[in-house]
Amino acid sequence: MEENVRAGRCVVAVDGPSGSGKSTVSRRLAAGLGARYLDTGAMYRAITWAVLRSGVDLTDAEAVAKVAQEVDLRIGTDPQGYGVTADGVSVDADIRGPEVTQAVSAVAAVPAVRALLVARQQEMIANAGRIVVEGRDIGAVVAPDADLKVYLTASEAARAARRSAEDATDATVTAADLARRDHLDSTRRTSPLQQASDAVVLDTTELGIDEVVQQLHTLLTERGVA
């Protein structure tokens, strides 16, 4: 991917709840910008996978943090096909499974885990130059100086329908799970899911992916960093 990254700094922070289109939009935008792409949620999911594998109690913050500090976490930044490994094991499929999905909010709420991963994310952003970063606290915490901050949202029904289509799950069950995760992530004490005060809010309920990407590209062009 490195040889395809264009020159010139460009950092885009994309936040929003699950099912708002963050991942698809971010990857496509990064590819169009000749930039790298970082899925911070995948990092928290990989740590959660390692915690579950270790067998430690999810409510034991110190034990969870110890696992996070010791695991060898690696994540690619190619928007066309990035990979995630934990201790040398490819976990791309496992981190999207129901067990990790159920536990990731609890692990991500541990302050020491967030401090560790935020520092890692900021280092990756600094080294990338041009990068689109998606998550839940990017514009407010991870990259407060991003060239463009975007908060993607959509109706609860639309988000549930999208996620259930991706995971082949029941929309009603998915909606309940999304509501649970959104509540946990938006009410945690450390770096909660939040909209940065200077973020551009885009409701994607009635918009296609191409429309959203085009709007973001236009905003970046207006800022002279596209």
- Summarize pLDDT for 71-87 with one digit per residue, the tens: 999 999 999 988 999 99
Beta bridge partners of 36: 131
Query: How do residues 36-48 score in pLDDT, each as one tens digit?
Result: 999 999 999 999 9
Region of 55 please: left (phi>0), alpha (psi -120 to 50) or beta: left
- Give SS3 for 36: strand
Position 156 scores a pLDDT of 83
Taking the C-alpha atoms of residue 105 and residue 182, their distance in angstroms, rounded to an integer, is: 9
pLDDT at 2 over 50: no
Phi, psi of 165 (to 5 degrees): -70, -40
pLDDT, tens digit, 9 for 90 and up, residues 162-219: 777 776 677 787 777 777 777 777 777 776 777 888 999 999 989 889 999 999 999 9
User: Residues near 169 by Cβ (< 8 Å), separated by ≥ 6?
Assistant: 163
Average pLDDT taken over every residue of the chain? 90
DSSP state of 2: G
pLDDT digits (tens, 9 = 90+) for 99-150: 999 999 999 999 999 999 999 999 999 999 899 999 999 999 999 999 999 9
- Measured in degrees and rounded to the nearest 5, phi and psi for residue 147 equal -70, -30
